[in-house]
Amino acid sequence: GTQLTLEDTPPRIVDPPQDLVVAQGTKARLRCRVEGHPPPEVTWLKDGEVLGSPQPHLTFLPGGTLLFLPFLPPHQGVYLCRATNPLGVATSQQVTLALAGE
């Protein structure tokens, strides 16, 4: 098992994702910066389903950001990020990623 120390802290979302409207074919980023010790693992959910990796046109950047390159209509939906470490779980508010002009 993992030994917990006094420095250990539960996960916390310090820069939550925001609603985003994006033009088709452009780059889109959903940020989710987290803190905690041990460093939390970030998971993204789209429409209530965990986003596995790899995904076409989707990159999980170090630190928790989700990068769409390019942004396509199937990427539209409701997203949230979840940070997990042995001390707990932090979940962001739900945000909407929408296609401009829809």
Read off the tokens for 73.
């209509």
* CATH number for 71: 2.60.40.10
pLDDT surpasses 70 at 25: yes
- Would you give the DSSP letter of residue 25? T
- Domain assignment of residue 61, yes or no: yes
Q: Helix (H, G, I), strand (E, B), or coil: what is residue 41?
A: strand
Give the count of domains, the chain. Answer: 1
Stretch 85-95: mean pLDDT? 97
- Domain assignment of residue 35, yes or no: yes
pLDDT digits (tens, 9 = 90+) for 43-86: 999 999 999 877 889 999 988 999 999 999 999 999 999 999 99
Cβ count near 12 (within 10 Å) = 13
- Would you give the DSSP letter of residue 74? G
Q: Is the pTM of this model over 0.85?
A: yes
pLDDT digits (tens, 9 = 90+) for 4-22: 777 899 999 999 999 999 9
The pLDDT of residue 23 is 94
The pLDDT of residue 83 is 96
- Domain assignment of residue 4, yes or no: no
10 cis-preceded (ω within 30 degrees of 0): no
Cβ count near 71 (within 10 Å) = 23
- Domain assignment of residue 80, yes or no: yes
- Domain assignment of residue 70, yes or no: yes
Q: What range does the domain containing 61 cover? A: 9-99
The pLDDT of residue 2 is 65
The pLDDT of residue 66 is 94
